[in-house]
Structure 1
Amino acid sequence: MKIQKLISFLSLLSCTFFINVPAQDLSNQNATPETKNLYKNLGKLLDRGIMFGHQDDLGYGVNWRMEKGRSDVKETSGDYPAVFGWDLIHFETGKNGPIDFFSFKEMKTMIEEAYNMGGINTISWHTSNPKTGKDAWDNTKESIQVILPGAEKHQLYKDWLNGIAKYLKSIKGKDKKQVPILFRPYHELTGNWFWWGKGNATPEDYKKLWTFTYDYLTKEKQVNNLIWVYNTSDFKTKEEFMEFYPGDQYVDMISFDIYEMGDPTKDNSFVENAQRQFRIMDEVAREHHKIPALAETGYEQIPYDKFWTETIMNAVGKYKISYILAWRNHGLTRENKMHYYVPFKGHPNEKDFKNFHDLENILFLKDIQRESIYK
């Protein structure tokens, strides 16, 4: 079986697109050595396969909360994910944590733990609407304008960034080095559900927000442990993917988010849409020398027993991407709904997920630990 998988993988590799990502293309030339090394090795890992990631993996699972060493991914696949996703939602409001299950202090400890194990951390930021004071999903139009330089709430935004900068710089491993972070702010920009998204903000204002945020964090606050990730959702053309793009000097990686919303046994639109978007993103990655990724994906409750080995693998197809990150395993929500994207022990999809883990071109934590990605 293993030989057959290897033959299949080599066949796939022979027709896979090659993306040349020079190490010097990291946007921040003052980045820490560990951050530069991670970026260089992310480029090299494209030839090895696709890393698997999971949101909030160490913090909670479907039937547990904050139990050290636990992970639904590990308990079903036998290994931790290679990429660990986190979010700074509510940080700017002064709230104790991003979610009721753990605080920002505890999240910092888990990020450091992932780094100490040799894993990779990525952080998004569901930023509160600065115009209304409501959450990120309050898509009041022209909210970006109130925090741009010279605008009425620009100082408020700088105060938010001051707190973010202090927090990100404080995250250090047992080697006393700052932990490199794949930073993915203002994500899913081609959707209209966030206040910074298409239809609620102009491309010009979005670019001003991104470039100010980048310059303030990297140049003013000297946050040198970030790899900047540009992120979209659905798009039909290359022009649409690039419409809000702030420029190569402000971006290190490009990505999109896409979720299975139908029944893959009856509807192939998820695979077809993903293939169209991967084709476009691959072209952009090669032209701009940026590392591509699938920053969020999944199928809520995973009611299909071949989702990983068939649906996801067919969606990615022959394209080289850095990682796939599945969304979080919340479990039962306040609305009495089960919300999870990775199987837990005893779930019907567990076998397929284990088979997905065993594929030669899918990389979990043990696969990248041997690479010394920060050196």
Structure 2
Amino acid sequence: MKIIVFVLAVLCCMFSACSTSEPNIITDPPEEKEEITLEIVDKNATHETKALLSNLWDIQSQSGLMFGHHDDLIYGRDWKSIQDRSDTKEVCGDYPAVFSLDFAQIMGARSVNVEFNADRRRTILEARERGEVITACVHLDNPLTGGDAWDNSDNTVVQQILIEGSDTNIKFKSWLDNLATFLSDLKDSEGALIPIIFRPFHEHTQTWSWWGQSMTTADEFIGLWKFTIHYLRDEKGVHNLIYAISPQLDFASNKEKILFRWPGDDYVDFIGMDSYHGRNTDALNANAKILEELSIEKKKPCGITETGIEGVRNSDGSNYANYWTKEILTPLIGKEISMVVLWRNKYDPTHEGHHFYGPWKGHNSAQDFVTFYKSSFTRFSSDLPDMYEMAEGITIQ
């Protein structure tokens, strides 16, 4: 655990030492923690899932920020499929508090990649054993055209999904069946289902995906969101998901943009935000403040669910040595946000490319990441409370 120096306490002792008398000092009793009730989409969610939601709220309300990294336990810059390895851990000595991964290969046509999916299961179990938080996005293939998630050649795909009995509807439900089977067999060492923060149809404010704003109407997107939840929760009996929405905001924006095509408070547990703002630190600062305000207003925990600069570079292509403290810590410190998740470090042992967003040993920002890690504001794996037991003073209903 990182040591926090209580400066105020030291100052009080100094002032006491300077005093020549010992006046009767009346101190206020310690403030009682405010009781709060949060709503959850799945009223039949497991105890551990409700507990995770409570702790997400508790961590951010205590001004703590969990660091996360996508695919951090599956592969890194110089390695892949090696148990217990992590680019993050090799830099700072600790695992990320949040492990992010993709469920598309579990669900759709790419689910035949048995070896890679075995790595997904293994690393989820390892992360849960250490008490870390697991979140999953879905770059899901296009069920109408057969293309990938970026195939936006036919704007009727969501219409077809929502037509009961259509070929696309049947295919999409079979992919949800695959996910339900995977999740229902995902259990920790005590036999309890492992909770996942699930963010389907992420970055729906953008135009690149078949579920994005240029491919769907508002009614279609909201219908798709609700259909997916009803099918997993009510038809398949999946009760270990926390449902997270995550629009992408790269420039300073407003509350309405975060709420773009909002499916309703009853259908969202967690408010995420993907932010590829580059070096526009003011934009991240402004949007994080709006996210914080919206989180408090709606009583739903929030976080930066994807961010980073490819290659951790300056605009001239040189390495950004103080990236972590300047671009991540500075705009987010003190804000009531539960997590910040960096995108992946592609396996590239020859270092021919620059497709990495997180820390790795050998990059010249590594020492700055250690400074980021040592901040009393950041949380890594060993800093976490028991995320799967209810946080004090918080009720989930």
TM-score, structure 2 length as denominator? Answer: 0.83
Cα 1:242–1:142 shift into 2, 3 Å: farther
Distance 2:144 2:380 in 1: 41
- Aligned 1:215-294 pairs, distance under 5 A: 215-234=230-249, 236-261=253-278, 264=279, 270-294=280-304
Offset of residue 170 of structure 1: 1.1
Offset of residue 334 of structure 1: 11
Paired residues of 2:140 and 2:148 also in contact (CA < 8 A): yes
Q: Which deviates the most, 110-119 or 284-293?
A: 284-293
Output one character per residue of 1:64-97: Cα deviation in whole Å (capped at 9) or x when no partner: 1111111110010110000000101233115333
Of 154, 160, 165 in structure 1, the residue corresponding to residue 180 of structure 2 is 165
Of 42, 45, 63 in structure 2, the residue corresponding to residue 31 of structure 1 is 45
Cα 1:21–1:300 shift into 2, 3 Å: farther
**Aligned residue for 1:374?**
388
Distance 2:73 2:4 in 1: 33
**Aligned residue for 1:155?**
170
The alignment yields a C-alpha RMSD, in angstroms, of: 2.3
**Aligned residue for 2:305?**
295
Q: Does 2:133 correspond to 1:116? A: no
Paired residues of 1:21 and 1:291 also in contact (CA < 8 A): no
Cα 1:194–1:344 shift into 2, 3 Å: same
- Aligned 1:313-352 pairs, distance under 5 A: 313-332=329-348, 336-352=352-368
TM-score, structure 1 length as denominator? Answer: 0.88
Paired residues of 1:145 and 1:151 also in contact (CA < 8 A): no
Work out the percentage of aligned pairs sharing the same amino acid: 36
Aligned residues: 351
Amino acid at match of 1:308: W
Amino acid at match of 1:310: K
Paired residues of 1:183 and 1:228 also in contact (CA < 8 A): yes
Distance 1:146 1:92 in 2: 17
Amino acid at match of 1:132: T
Output one character per residue of 1:222-274: Cα deviation in whole Å (capped at 9) or x when no partner: 1100001010002723222212111111110001111243xx4xxxxx21221
Distance 2:146 2:264 in 1: 29
**Aligned residue for 2:219?**
204
Distance 1:357 1:366 in 2: 11
Q: Which runs of 5+ in 1 are unaligned?
A: 9-19, 265-269
Paired residues of 2:225 and 2:263 also in contact (CA < 8 A): yes
Q: Which runs of 5+ in 2 are unaligned?
A: 9-33, 313-318, 390-397
Amino acid at match of 1:110: T
Paired residues of 2:81 and 2:119 also in contact (CA < 8 A): no
Offset of residue 349 of structure 1: 0.6
Offset of residue 106 of structure 1: 2.2
Distance 2:111 2:349 in 1: 20
Amino acid at match of 1:301: G
Cα 1:347–1:83 shift into 2, 3 Å: same
Cα 1:148–1:56 shift into 2, 3 Å: same
Offset of residue 143 of structure 1: 2.1
Offset of residue 205 of structure 1: 0.5
Offset of residue 354 of structure 1: 0.4
**Aligned residue for 1:312?**
328
**Aligned residue for 1:52?**
67
Offset of residue 133 of structure 1: 0.9
Cα 1:3–1:328 shift into 2, 3 Å: closer
Output one character per residue of 1:76-124: Cα deviation in whole Å (capped at 9) or x when no partner: 01100000001012331153339xxx52122111101100111110011
Cα 1:117–1:259 shift into 2, 3 Å: same
Q: Does 2:210 correspond to 1:195? A: yes
